[in-house]
Amino acid sequence: MLYSQKYNSPIGDLKIVSDKKNIVGLWIKGQKYFESTIYGEEISSQPLPILEMAKQWLNQYFSGEKPLPEELSLKPKGSEFRKLVWEILCKIPYGEVTTYGEIAKEVAQILQKDKMSAQAVGGAVGHNPISIIIPCHRVIGASGDLIGYAGGIELKKKLLDFEKS
């Protein structure tokens, strides 16, 4: 059984999903891959401490504070490769960005490989099931262009602009 709460944010409606102990999903309504990792599991809309903690985290975030991902118990569902990429995303500081290629280099180093595909990293970043908290919006193209955000480029720009203030 999973549990969910809606959260009305300055960027639109969000859906927070928990397994009772951890946050397993946070999606922006209408984004690509919405609820993609919950695979038809039954969801109950009921308040839980972890969901309230996530809402408080989002309140801090949207009020201009800089809460850290590790302040919440996160358990995104995905392959070990994707989980590694998501861990790396959590280390990108507020107000900074990195590229898919830079993440690919870091993944290659961790996995002791000569190189890693930036496209493979892009697939993992794009399928991040815990938007905003795991900051996939802080990843840009090698040219510095804003590319590849499941919520849309305009939303990615809004989040990055928001974090700069």
Strand pairing report for 139-140 and 98-99: parallel
- 33 pLDDT band, cuts 50/70/90, is low
Say which CATH class 2-71 falls into: alpha beta
Question: Token pair 């930036």 is at which residue?
Answer: 118
- Taking CB atoms within 8 Å and a gap of at least 24, the contacts of 9-13 are 9/58, 9/62, 10/62, 10/162, 11/151, 11/155, 11/158, 11/159, 11/162, 12/155
Q: Enumerate the β-bridge partners of residue 99.
A: 140
Per-domain boundaries in the chain: 2-71, 80-164
Q: What is the pLDDT of residue 66?
A: 95
Across the range 126-155, mean pLDDT stands at 89
Q: Does domain 80-164 have CATH number 1.10.10.10?
A: yes
pTM: 0.91
What digits encode the pLDDT tens for the residues 66-108?
Answer: 999 999 999 999 999 999 999 999 999 998 999 999 999 999 9
Q: Enumerate the β-bridge partners of residue 25.
A: 17
Q: What is the pLDDT of residue 50?
A: 97
Q: What is the pLDDT of residue 151?
A: 76
| Radius of gyration in angstroms for the set of CA atoms belonging to the chain, rounded to a whole number | 15
- Higher-confidence residue of 47 and 78: namely 78
Across the range 109-131, mean pLDDT stands at 94
Q: What is the pLDDT of residue 109?
A: 96
Cβ-contact 145, 139 below 8 angstroms: no
Above 80 in pLDDT, residue 112?
Answer: yes
Catalytic residues: 136
Above 80 in pLDDT, residue 116?
Answer: yes
